Amino acid sequence: MSTKEIFSKEMMPRADSTDEISPFWPVFSAARELGHERKGSWSLMKVFLVCLLACVITTAIGVLALSLVYVKSTALMKETDIKDDGASFPKPDEKSVDFKFQFLNHLEKSKVYKYPGGEIQWARFRKDVKEYQSDEEMEFGKSINNHRSKMTFGTLRIKSKGLRAPHWHFNANEHGYLLQPQGGVNFIRTFKKQVEDQAVNLPPNLNELVQNATYVQSPDNLVWQYFYNLKGSAEYPFPGGIFQWARYRINGTGLNETEKIFSESLNKHENTLTLATLRIVSNGLGQPHFHFNANEMGYVISGCGQVGVILSSGVTANFNIGIGDVIFFPVGTQHYIKSVCDEDLFLILAYSTGNEGSQEQYFFCAMSPLATAWPGRDPSLMDSTRAGSRRLRQELANGR
């Protein structure tokens, strides 16, 4: 037996031995286990590093692939005409719509909607952008909607002996101004009491009302709730021209009996408008001003002019207006109107005042002690409008 074998046999205890285990065994055992533990630790570290490297490589490849896809998609979009419902942003090579069309609508260029008795044209917001006739018309529609104007403007032409059939509006009041009264106009002033709600049933005597309007006129307290002699009302001159108003006044101050009936009727209904005619003499000016509580919309009946608008952000627009144009000034927006023709500039105006139109401050708030003393005013609005007023006056002085 060799020395090595003897050493091994002497050092390894027998299974059936009851002798005390040599103190070298635990040391040897611990050393052997320690050696295996270190070997196992280095193996796990290598696996971890390999996995980490694989993750890094995979991530880099993924990012590179996405980058290539994005570049190719962008190039394809530039080369292809993308069609949608008109709500997307214009392509880089397209010319953007002039800013002025947020405040200007060439109504005479809009679509004519015919009905048996005549035709209607609208300056309004449309949910379906395909119904707009042009990008300029869409810009105006979006503007009055974004500013919550609560107004839509339209011209109604009724043929000779034609009829605008009896109808109603579920969500709007309607105001009108008669432009061409030659030949007279017969209004349907009364109906027989309907069997059911007239919102779903027209009067049973509709044919009689249309063909033979010889019935007795309703009493004044009913008729003048809906009609107002604006042309015959009081005139309110200013340095550049004249205003006439169809609006609510507290206690009917300055109104005759029939005008008081109309005034109270406006006050009883929500979201009514204030109407006015504005006549600016040749080369006259409706000075820069703003309205605290009302959007303003106007229609040019005769003459021609120049309009200026400035927003609180400092953005300005100056443009010319003529017969058939509709203009819009949002609440708090500085604006002016100037007549630039040999004849007077004449407009019909509408203000979304509801029943608050009894105070002059709402209508013509130029930068004066009256405007600066307005209760509950917004200081930031006052500062911006003062700056805007100065800027507009400077532009007018420079002949812009």
Summarised one tens digit per residue, pLDDT across range 295-324 is 999 999 999 999 999 887 878 899 999 999
Select the more confidently predicted residue: 366 or 218. Answer: 218
pTM: 0.65
Q: How far apart are CA 115 and CA 165, in angstroms?
A: 10
pLDDT at position 69, please? Answer: 64
Mean pLDDT, rounded, of the chain: 74
Q: Which of 196-210, 270-284, 383-397 has the lowest mean pLDDT?
A: 383-397
Instruction: Name the pLDDT band for 201 (thresholds 50, 70, 90).
Output: low
Q: How far apart are CA 328 and CA 326, in angstroms?
A: 7
pLDDT mean over 23-46: 48
Both structure tokens of 80: 């292809």
pLDDT at position 244, please? Answer: 96
* Predicted confidence (pLDDT) per residue in 204-224, tens digit: 666 666 666 666 677 888 889
| 92-130-125 Cα angle (round to 5) | 100
Q: Is the Cβ–Cβ distance between 245 and 236 less than 8 Å? A: yes
Closest alpha carbon to 284 in 304, 311, 310: 304
**H or E segment and range at residue 308:** strand 305-310
Q: How far apart are CA 266 and CA 274, in angstroms?
A: 9
pLDDT mean over 145-172: 88
pLDDT at position 345, please? Answer: 97
**Length, in residues, of the chain:** 400
pLDDT at position 108, please? Answer: 93
pLDDT at position 170, please? Answer: 85
Asked if the model's pLDDT at residue 154 lies above 90, the reply is yes
Q: How far apart are CA 153 and CA 64, in angstroms?
A: 56
Instruction: Name the pLDDT band for 380 (thresholds 50, 70, 90).
Output: very low
Q: If 0-12 CB within 10 Å is exposed, 13-18 middle and 19+ buried, where does residue 21 land?
A: exposed
pLDDT at position 125, please? Answer: 95
Both structure tokens of 148: 């919550």
